[in-house]
Amino acid sequence: MNVGCNQPELVGFGHQVARQRRAAEPGRSELQLRTRRNLLRAGAAVLVSGVASPAISKIAAADARSLAFQNLHTGENLAVDYWVEGQYVPDALTEVNHVLRDYRNGEIHTIDPKLLDLLNLLHRQLDSTAPFSVISGYRSPATNAAMHEHSSGVAAHSLHMQGMAIDIRLADRDLKRLHDTAQSMRAGGVGYYPSLDFVHVDTGRVRYWGAAA
């Protein structure tokens, strides 16, 4: 039964009672309205904060968030503060986009800032001092299609094509520890490739695959 549509008399009666209560208890009514507004604001804040994964939302609003990359294919190195004083730094993000470009054809794509936050947290949890060695960052659609044609392990709609995925290792941390820590964060997808010596992480839905997933 749809009360809101089929019983207008009850709805009208309810409004009448509500008006009588507000007239009889003006102080309480105002308090209730203020409380309701506060609850709505709190609910909105929860919804906004809930957009990010629980792990990523734990990153403190520090003065700076830093990352270092070593591109194994181009030999380039980058150490950068990509977040400073509460906001992402556009020039730093541009540098990240460049070093994580598709090295096969030079195509550059925006890297998801949430992926950078994931890597920042992962690096801190591992207490590593080494740069991330990058096996694969952004992949252009053409590159991904060619790789998919030759390997069933490459997804046809890989998140690498959206700048939301990266394949990495750390010189000063065991690959299994890197994998286990990334998986424990529950911040997105994690793939384990010990035979190829890398771990895949992305900012897609939480899912695991590979030798120890």
Q: Report percent pLDDT > 90 for the chain.
A: 63
Least confident of 10-24, 56-70, 76-90, 186-200: 10-24
Q: Please give the pLDDT value at position 14.
A: 42
Q: Report percent pLDDT > 70 for the chain.
A: 70
Q: Please give the pLDDT value at position 58.
A: 58
**50/42 Cα distance (integer angstroms):** 12
Give the pLDDT band of residue 211 (cuts 50, 70, 90). Answer: confident
Tens digits of per-residue pLDDT, 16-73?
434 444 444 444 444 444 434 444 444 433 333 334 566 566 565 557 999 999 999 9
Return the number of other C-beta atoms located less than 10 Å from residue 63's C-beta: 10
Q: Please give the pLDDT value at position 154.
A: 84
Tens digits of per-residue pLDDT, 151-186?
877 888 899 999 999 999 999 999 999 999 999 999
What's the pTM? 0.73
- The overall average pLDDT reported for the chain is 80
| Residue 68 vs residue 8, higher pLDDT | 68
